[in-house]
Structure 1
Amino acid sequence: MRTWQVERRKRTRHLIELGGLVVKAGIVELANDDRAVIYGAMLWIAAKLQSDEGKHSRDLWAVRGKQAFNAEQHEEKKGQRT
Structure 2
Amino acid sequence: MVNRRERTKQLIELGGLVAKAKLVDLTDDDRAVIYGALLNVAAKLRGEERDQALTLWRRSGKRAFANDTDEPSR
TM-score class, shorter: 0.7 to 0.9
Q: Which has the higher contact order (CA 8 A, sep 6+)?
A: 2
Which runs of 5 or more structure 2 residues have no equivalent in the other structure? 70-74
State whether structure 2 residue 1 is matched by structure 1 residue 8. no
> Where does the alignment leave 5 or more consecutive residues of structure 1 unmatched?
1-5, 74-82
Q: Taking every aligned residue pair, what percent have the same amino acid on both sides?
A: 56
* TM-score of the aligned structures, taking structure 2 as reference length: 0.88
Task: Report the number of matched residues.
Answer: 68
Deviation at 1:39, TM superposition (A): 0.2
Report the Cα distance in structure 1 between the residues aligned to 2:68 and 2:32, rounded to whole angstroms. 29
Off by >6 Å, runs of 4+ in structure 1: none
Q: State the TM-score, normalized to the length of structure 1.
A: 0.80
Q: Which residue pairs with 1:3 in the alignment?
A: none
Q: What CA distance in whole angstroms lies between the structure 1 residues aligned with 2:59 and 2:32?
A: 27
Question: 2-side partners of 1:40 and 1:72: how far apart?
Answer: 27
